[in-house]
Amino acid sequence: MFLAFGQFSPDVADVGTDTLDVARNVYPASNSWKPFNQPTARSTSLPSACKGLASEPLTSGVFATYAGTTTKLYKFNASTQLWTDVSRVAGGNYATPADGFWSFAHFGNLLIATNGFDVVQFIDVTVGTNFAALAGSPPTAKHVTIVEDRVMLAGLTAAPSSIAWSDINNATVWTPGVGLADQQAFSSGGNAQAVCSAARLVLQERGMRAIIPTGDVTSFQFEEVASAKGALSARSVIAVGPLAFWLSEDGFYMGNSSEQRAISANRVTDYFFDKLLRERSYQVTGAADPLATRVYWSYPTQSTDYNDYIIGYDWSLDKWFEIKFTTYAMAITATAGLTLEELDAFGTLETLAFSMDSTTWSGGATYMSLIDQDNKLAYFSGQPMEVTLETGNVQFAPGRRVKATWARPLIEGTGGSSAMLEVGRRQRLTDEPAWTVPASMAASGRIPIYASGAYHRFRLVVPAGTIWEHAQGMDVEFAQEGVR
């Protein structure tokens, strides 16, 4: 009997379905699962916990990466792997709130940064050596983005349900009524969490507003398009071209000002909220993969400043997956180019993690990157992580006991021969499954299991560092034993 490795849907009743209760450290393909690579560190550690990450273009093919902590802002030096302090010279240490974070936006040559407490900061990424206060007295805010050639701030410290924007093509004019600078307060929906420019959305705690450019001195109108479907976490909001993705009180959503839809209901919503440590929901952090149609949210399951799980969604396949890894921050960043001499810091020609012609060394390649538990910048570019795929409950012969004897995993690639299989069997669904000892693959490609019961579930583990391409399911051999 063939058992397909179907969608990751731990919320569904799992008897007689091809859904998976566990799909860890894999990502979905059209009819299979593929291994997720281990993050590889590219930097030394930041001095303290990272609270924001950004990468901005300097010249064609050259990028600079910045990170923020509670008290400092840093620039990454690719040749030394060190973080250089580029914090403001005047004003002392920053004071990012415990539940706050750094939000960054690129505006011309300027990188603008805000943390919800300190005055809005900027640096000229082409010639600047330190951040400084942005001129024009912009309001302190939690989130910054660019909308219609204006810098827009959301979640103003003095008026959390308000947003403000600068004059057009001028980041230093903020007085309402001067040029096209203005502010807008919202009477309902709660705090303004984030703004998604191309999706034309302002996400609030309990609602959202469509951004409607007016073409006149009022600049924008804001129309309420939904209620009670706002963003639970400001950091959970992900902008991907004309689409936005976010976490709401009742699950994950995607959409824009014209249409929004639930994407996690009846699949992973209950699973996610059961694991999430609710009092730290402000730590839920979203990021998009620039090389695929996938978005990711890291989240905490325990009382720590870092997040220990990542849940992901492929919107072109409409499939979910999970990664077990610890992160402080995630973002799209780009690699900086290195000379041959600078490559010496990463090893010899024989031990370099990537080939010499890799864009990892030549620079300019964009990746989804992260700051790991050691506060190091890392890319998902190592060897495959340990993978776990676990099915629901299978009834081979309804109403009868069955002995499952052999299983043949359908895993393409030499690493598939290292797979280990456990079987959880039980007579009644009210019983806890009794698991067999993990068994390895024989030369025939089959794994001996010998598990008797009315219901069977299968847990396949592929060790870290093994190379394989696709996992589709397994063929299982069984024999009926009786009705008891």
| Burial (CB count <10 Å: 0-12, 13-18, 19+), residue 26 | buried
Residues 189 and 327 in one domain: yes
| Final residue before a domain boundary, out of 325, 350, 379 | 379
User: What is the DSSP code string of 5-30?
Assistant: ---B-TTS--BS---EEEEESEEE-S
Residues 440 and 328 in one domain: no
The helices-and-strands tally (H runs, E runs) of the chain is 2, 40
Domain of 403 in residue numbering reads as 2-35+386-482
End-to-end CA distance of the chain: 22
User: Number of structural domains, the chain?
Assistant: 2
| Mean pLDDT of the chain, nearest integer | 92
Alpha-carbon distance of 224 to 227, in angstroms, equals 8
pLDDT (mean) for 396-407: 93
For 352-374, give one letter per residue: b (16+ CB within 10 A) or e: ebeeeeeebbeeebebbbbbbbe
* CATH number for 463: 2.60.120
Residues 26 and 130 in one domain: no
Residues 25 and 47 in one domain: no
Q: What is the pLDDT of residue 298?
A: 98
- Phi and psi at 35, nearest 5°, equal -75, 145
Residues 207 and 340 in one domain: yes
Whole-Å CA distances, 464 to 307, 326, 470:
21, 16, 15
Residues 374 and 397 in one domain: no
Tens digit of each residue's pLDDT (9 = 90 or more) over 449-467: 999 999 999 999 999 999 9
* CATH number for 175: 2.130.10.10
Alpha-carbon distance of 1 to 477, in angstroms, equals 6
Residues 193 and 285 in one domain: yes
Q: Is the pTM of this model over 0.75?
A: yes
| Final residue before a domain boundary, out of 379, 413, 428 | 379
Q: What is the pLDDT of residue 433?
A: 94
3-state secondary structure string across 330-346: EEEEECCCCCCCHHHHH
Tens digit of each residue's pLDDT (9 = 90 or more) over 93-139: 999 999 999 999 999 999 999 999 999 999 999 999 999 999 999 99
Tens digit of each residue's pLDDT (9 = 90 or more) over 413-463: 998 899 999 999 999 999 999 999 999 999 999 999 999 999 999 999 999
The pLDDT of residue 472 is above 70: yes
Alpha-carbon distance of 73 to 128, in angstroms, equals 13
Residues 190 and 51 in one domain: yes
The pLDDT of residue 217 is above 90: no
Alpha-carbon distance of 257 to 209, in angstroms, equals 7
Question: Which among 184, 162, 173 has a CA at the least distance from the CA of 134?
Answer: 173
Residues 407 and 369 in one domain: no
Residues 31 and 49 in one domain: no
Amino acid occupying residue 139? P
Q: At 153, which helix (H) or strand (E)?
A: strand 150-156
Residues 366 and 390 in one domain: no
Alpha-carbon distance of 204 to 183, in angstroms, equals 16
| Final residue before a domain boundary, out of 330, 351, 379 | 379
Residues 298 and 331 in one domain: yes
